[in-house]
Structure 1
Amino acid sequence: MEKSWPKVILFGDSLTQYGYSHDGCWAAFVADHLQRKCDVINRGFSGYNTRWCKIILPKLVTKADVTDTKMVTIFLGANDSVDSVLCPNQHVPLNEFKKNMIDMVQYLMDIGVNKEKIVIISPPTCDEQKWQSDCEEKGRVFGKFNGPTKDYAKVCIEVGEEIGTQTVDLYTAMSCQKDWEDMLNDGLHFSPYGSQFLFEQLKPVLDKLTSNMKLQLPYWADIDNENPHKLLNKY
């Protein structure tokens, strides 16, 4: 029987989708940290909110997919929290947002993911001035404000505490840094500095969930080049 390779699944919006990009590279930091231990699977969808993600999650992550899964992140809220009048196509009311988050966590638990392996990451702060300039330059509607985002971030942490998942309160962690604006390249998405900052916030949880993992396949110097099957066939 083929051995299942351990995996980490990252689920979210553009902040996850761009996780392997030059700037928004936090997913790449996760993959590098877990190299030869886990496959890191990026399931990020730019512009998506929890209403849509709740629909697609069962199509993307099935019971078969979570075999030997070490961690699943849910990183949403940046789009749900936009202004309901200015950005009605993406906005999701706060009470529905909370229910959607609970339902997604419950779904993952129902298919076999232990709640301790689920990590809810709150949306980050937004540099309103920079994001407004970027929106105007690219012909997009500006409707992103820190006040509502803070409320959605708070709900993320509440859901985690109520259910018993892991949480990363990124909004609060960023807000405490005097140079937090430098963590965003366009006011909304991460700069390399912001990506590194998120990874550092996530790393203690990541290490807790993967600290007992060994490298997959034997160390090269332990393999007998004249008889490689002796050791490699044990895998």
Structure 2
Amino acid sequence: MVGPKRPQIVLFGSSIVQHSFYDQGWASILTHLYARKADIILRGYAGWNSRRALQVLDDIFPKDATEQPSLVIVYFGANDSVLAHPSGLGQHIPLQDYIQNMKKIAIHLKSLS
């Protein structure tokens, strides 16, 4: 017999999230703490920055999904803060752009509830 749907906790971020299950990492601890209480969903992408996250936000968190997460943990910033490459290419995001990107992510996630 299957019980009621469990709340979803989504982990969304860069490699720190992608690798959070390795070697009993912090996502493993969450999974243990919320066993049979919530589903932990991993959406971690190594090398991503906040700009890349904004590009796929609607795909990962569609507003019309029948089930919405109860909690989303967002962790971007390590790749955004690397030194800027002279070519202008790379993962670096200027601080003001990073702040705006994170605000847009937060506004989108708040709109799901």
Same fold (TM over 0.5): yes
- Check if 1:26 corresponds to 2:11: no
Query: CA, structure 1 residues 111+70, in 2 after alignment: closer, same or farther (shift >3 Å)?
Result: closer
1:108 positional shift: 0.8
1:65 positional shift: 6.1
Query: CA, structure 1 residues 50+66, in 2 after alignment: closer, same or farther (shift >3 Å)?
Result: farther
Q: Deviations over 1:97-125 (max 9, x none)?
A: 0000000000111122xxxxxxxxxxxxx
Q: Which has the higher contact order (CA 8 A, sep 6+)?
A: 2
Residue aligning to 2:98: 97
**Unaligned 5+ runs, structure 2:** none
Query: CA, structure 1 residues 75+89, in 2 after alignment: closer, same or farther (shift >3 Å)?
Result: same
**Unaligned 5+ runs, structure 1:** 113-235
Query: CA, structure 1 residues 45+65, in 2 after alignment: closer, same or farther (shift >3 Å)?
Result: farther
Residue aligning to 1:77: 77
Hey, which of these two has a bigger chunk of helix by percent?
1
Task: Write out aligned runs for 1:1-235 (5 A).
Answer: 3-22=4-23, 25-63=25-63, 64=65, 66-67=67-68, 69-85=69-85, 88-112=89-113
1:4 positional shift: 2.8
Larger-Rg structure: 1
Q: Read off the aligned partner of 1:80 and give its amino acid letter.
A: D
RMSD over aligned CA atoms reads 1.9
| 1:53 counterpart SS class | helix
What TM-score results when the alignment is normalised by the length of structure 2? 0.87
Aligned residues: 109
* Percent identity between the two aligned chains: 31
Q: 1-side partners of 2:91 and 2:48: how far apart?
A: 7
Q: 1-side partners of 2:21 and 2:34: how far apart?
A: 14
Q: Read off the aligned partner of 1:38 and give its amino acid letter.
A: A
Query: CA, structure 1 residues 66+97, in 2 after alignment: closer, same or farther (shift >3 Å)?
Result: farther
